[in-house]
Structure 1
Amino acid sequence: MSLDDNKRLVRQHIELSWNRGHLALAEKLHSKDFLYKSSFVGHPMASPEFAAMVTQIRTAMPELEVVVEECVAEGDKVVTWSTLIGTIETPALGYPPSDKVMSISAMAFWTLTPGLQVREICTMFDMESFRAQLGLATRTYAEKALP
């Protein structure tokens, strides 16, 4: 597979899952040993758990749009920098609804199989910015680093 094929697969996965909510189609792109890891949730998720989480978030944020800002590929790895945009209309994952349009930056590290399936996604969200936009308490980086 070419690097462009790898990037196309990742963009297709984002479009099917996050932007359109076509989770059954997105799951067909997952390998049998698929894992999703994220700073947003505290444990690795298999494909069905990932689909359930995306469904929960899309239910709370029905107008959610994920914009891929950058997509870089090397070997079996793809890295995306994305911006999630939307309004939380109902509580989700412990966060309250808000009438504000949220903008959340995320970096994701994707590992693909030779057969062009997604084996792993490891995503880091800018949770402090997210919390600040919701008006929730945030902590400075130095404060978090101290015991």
Structure 2
Amino acid sequence: MSDDELRAAVRRFFEEVWNNGNVGETEAFLGPEFVSHNTVDVRIVGPREYGAAVTDYRAAFPDFHTTLEEVLVDGDRVVVRGTDRGTHRGDFMGFPASGREVTTTWIEIFRMEQGKAVEGWVESDSAILRNQLVAEAG
């Protein structure tokens, strides 16, 4: 895949899977043995577990929307910087629904093999998210 094709694939992935909740599309971008290394200690291996995590997240934030701020390609790495927004309408991270609107930012680095992501490293500040959930509940 060319750099432009990789950027387009990443944008499609986030639009379809995260923004539209079409978790059946995870296999279009993630390899069958994909492993997520994330800061929220959620075990995610493979497209099915990734899709389940997206479904759980969208249940807590049904109006969830992610905006991709940057998509950079360097060899077999694709770096994505994004901003997530949503309203806390369901249980999440042990916090009951608060109705509070939250915003978080993150960076994910995907390692690609044969046009599919096989690993992803997500860096996000879960303390900032927790603080936004607690502020309304507390």
SS of 2:45 mapped into structure 1 = coil
**What TM-score comes out, normalization by structure 2 length?**
0.88
2:116 match: 117
Tell me how large the CA RMSD over aligned residues is: 1.6
The percentage of aligned residue pairs carrying the same residue is: 26
Give me the whole-angstrom Cα distance separating, in 1, the residues matched to 2:27 and 2:95. 26
Give me the whole-angstrom Cα distance separating, in 1, the residues matched to 2:98 and 2:124. 19
SS of 1:135 mapped into structure 2 = helix
Which portions of structure 1, spanning 4 or more consecutive aligned residues, are displaced by more than 4 angstroms?
Answer: none
Give me the whole-angstrom Cα distance separating, in 2, the residues matched to 1:135 and 1:33. 35
Q: From the superposition, tell whether residues 40 and 11 of structure 1 become closer, same or farther in structure 2 (CA, over 3 Å).
A: same
Question: In the TM superposition, what whole-angstrom CA distance separates every residue of 1:20-44 from its partner, at most 9, and x where no partner exists?
Answer: 1111122232212211221122434
Contact 1:35 1:47 in 2 (8 A): no
Give me the whole-angstrom Cα distance separating, in 2, the residues matched to 1:73 and 1:7. 7
Greater radius of gyration (CA): 1
Unaligned runs of 5+ in 2: none
Contact 1:27 1:51 in 2 (8 A): no
Give me the whole-angstrom Cα distance separating, in 2, the residues matched to 1:68 and 1:119. 20
Question: In the TM superposition, what whole-angstrom CA distance separates every residue of 1:31-79 from its partner, at most 9, and x where no partner exists?
Answer: 1221122112243432211111110111111100000111111111111
2:66 match: 66
Question: In the TM superposition, what whole-angstrom CA distance separates every residue of 1:87-133 from its partner, at most 9, and x where no partner exists?
Answer: 1101024233122210011110111112x112122111111211221
Give me the whole-angstrom Cα distance separating, in 2, the residues matched to 1:106 and 1:54. 15
Matches of residues 1-147 of structure 1 in structure 2 within 5 Å?
1-114=1-114, 116-135=115-134
Contact 2:88 2:133 in 1 (8 A): no
Unaligned runs of 5+ in 1: 137-147
